[in-house]
Structure 1
């Protein structure tokens, strides 16, 4: 009779091939970085937990081994660099006066019979 735990592990491996134990640590790190950047909150947590340094190390190891996941890691690092540049170019905090939307004092948006020279 088959071991139910072994069958369960085999089914899990089939359902989630990316979680296979034979994956290199750098491959898991790069995949985790890509997953983290699917949402702003998980990306923030990833970066706050030192994820960029870990990602850089993983990309270096993957590159040395000639692993194809290094390409994804380098793309993530380029995206991080672009994000950092765009954040540096924008004002840290937009005040109320910096808002691009202002009330339409002389513009009539409704067709409700108001005179256009209002």
Structure 2
């Protein structure tokens, strides 16, 4: 088995569900964030080009690492090989996406007004 890990990260961003593949996923130094590094994109030699993957390539162009809010993460899977990165609209996902409750920072309390 190869020592290189590949992770599929599915998260909610601006009304869409993003599915990206990365070489490293870890807890961020910033409270309540997950850091994703080494985003893996498919080969450009393919005849068919997926517009959502091209949009992700342009969105993450030049990004060394990205910090995703913990409550936006739907799931993280370790996979054997990278698939195609994609953006799925909320309606395409069946509309059954529920946000995880936002964790409270230490020393804070909810507004009782």
For normalisation by structure 2, the TM-score amounts to: 0.25
Structure with a larger share of its residues in strand: 2
For the pair shown, the structure with the greater C-alpha radius of gyration is 1
Structure with a larger share of its residues in helix: 1
